[in-house]
Amino acid sequence: MFFSVDIPTPANTPKAYPVNTKLRVGPGTTGQVWVGFPPGPKGLVHLQVWHWGSLLWPCHTPVISLLMNVPGAVGIPTAQLIAEADFHWDDQVFTFEDPYELTAEPYDLIIRTWNEDDFYLHTLYFAIVIEPAKPVLSEAQIRQVYEDLGVPYGGGV
């Protein structure tokens, strides 16, 4: 399933008091992710994706490997670099795939944005594909399938 949201972020929105936008998704595995920055913010608008109170992107694999090559990141402890990581660009759509399992409620992703621009509101775009979780059959259901097929059931599947 495809989920997307436009996130208007007012001028002078500090990191300490970001805009938190809830994106309701369902159980499954994350697929393609898009983070879009329109022309204009010049890197002054920032975005992070959180799940269950933990920073998911950009610090989750494989995105952090891209950040390790950021100029000025040399000598910064990895834990600090991860904690400070965010997406911030101008006129760019960043895409990646990162299979992350969403297995328990709430499945909501929190898109956290802030804007260091003194004057302009900027609207960011976030989209994601969630491959639905495959149903799991209970032992009773498996037994019923075997019985319907007329095959002896050995149990413990």
Q: Is residue 15 part of a domain?
A: yes
142: domain CATH number is 2.60.120
Domain housing 56: 2-149
Cross-strand bridge partners of residue 113: 19, 47
In a domain, 154, yes or no: no
Secondary structure percentages of the chain, helix, strand, coil, to 5 = 15, 40, 45
156 part of a folded domain: no
60 or 2, which is more confident?
Answer: 2
From CA 98, how far away is CA 61, in angstroms rounded? 7
**Number of domains composing the chain:** 1
Question: What are the pLDDT digits (tens) for 42-53?
Answer: 999 999 999 888
User: Is 48 among the domain residues?
Assistant: yes
Kindly state whether residue 28 falls inside one of the protein's structural domains.
yes
Q: What angle do CA 51, 118, 21 make, to 5 degrees?
A: 20
Dihedral angle sign, alpha carbons of residues 113, 10, 90, 107: positive
Q: pLDDT tens-digit profile of 115-143?
A: 999 999 999 999 999 998 877 777 888 88
- 155 in any annotated domain: no
The band of 155, judged by pLDDT with boundaries at 50, 70 and 90, is low
